[in-house]
Amino acid sequence: MKTKILSFVLMFTAIVSFAQQDAQFTQYMYNTINVNPAYAGSRGAMSIFALHRTQWVGLDGAPVTNAFSVNTPLNLSRLGLGVSVVNDRIGPTTENTISGDLSYTIPTSETFKLSFGIKATANLFNLDANKLNPVDASDPTLQNFSKFNPNIGAGLYLHSDKAYVGLSVPNFIESNRYDDNEVALFKEKVNYYLIAGYVFDLNNYIKFKPAMLSKIVKGAPLQADFSGNFLFYDKFMIGASYRWSASLSAMVGFQISDAMYIGYGYDRETTNLNNYNSGSHEIFLRYEIFKNNDKITTPRFF
């Protein structure tokens, strides 16, 4: 009974997991630290980032994600340090992930630097049985469930003032988030990420940056995000993004001050799921201190 009920209820979670093992973000180009530890400290400033994402609005039990991170270079050394927290809620399940990132950067030419990063993660998965609404509420086998899983990851990040490319694996260890009678109902698999972007100066006032993120998870289709952002007068950004066979997105952003930047993204599904929700909303705020503009001439894209 327990396995049948949970299998049915977690089927929605399984559908989401099929498409996104890790929490997904439309504005991934501003949230690189979550997928690549080598990004820590690469902006030459202490960067504080907070994001809220409400996915598939109107669909009961749809994902809601909150993310917070801080990363900074360490004094004048080649080391970078980052800490991030992600809270991901899907149906009756909640995942809280805390990660620590350490990077080391070496110059490879007059314009490019190569960063190496390692990530240590603690994940706490919770299933709230009170949200399952089973047919037989008195079933004694149906109960709340929690599980803790540690993990490790690594990444490479090659970057200059105008370009970047990164390869990373945030979680090397596969683990079962929930299992019953030794049958895994929800399993965290290894995620492989490839990111890249380039900034074109169209004129003195307009910059254009195409970017991409590709994610490979065993047993799931290739996920690929392609975006193009225009930045006007180093203040206002407008752009669009396409997630392969999944969604279209629009993005806007504004540099409120030298330290503060705010962005918003809206997704609309291109699959049949579009008939059951009114889209996804994502908003973030970034605040930076101890900024060194001599190190980064195009800081607002990556």
What is the reported pLDDT for 21?
60
pLDDT digits (tens, 9 = 90+) for 49-59: 999 999 999 99
pLDDT of residue 253: 96
What residue ranges of the chain have pLDDT lower than 50? 1-20, 183-184, 294-299
Of the candidates 197, 202, 204, the one whose C-alpha atom is nearest the C-alpha of residue 233 is 204
Token pair, residue 29, equals: 């180009």
pLDDT at 5: 39
Comparing C-alpha atoms, which of 25, 23, 105 is closest to residue 71? 105
* pLDDT tens figures, 74-88: 987 899 999 999 999
Alpha helices (H) along the chain? 2-9, 11-19
Report the alpha-carbon distance of residue 191 to residue 168 in Å, rounded: 8
Task: Please write down the long-range contacts of 268-275, taking CB distance under 8 Å and 24 or more positions apart.
Answer: 269/56, 270/245, 270/246, 271/245, 271/246, 271/247, 273/56, 273/59
Domains of the chain: 2-289 (2.40.160.40)
- Answer yes or no: are the C-beta atoms of 27 and 238 closer than 8 Å: no
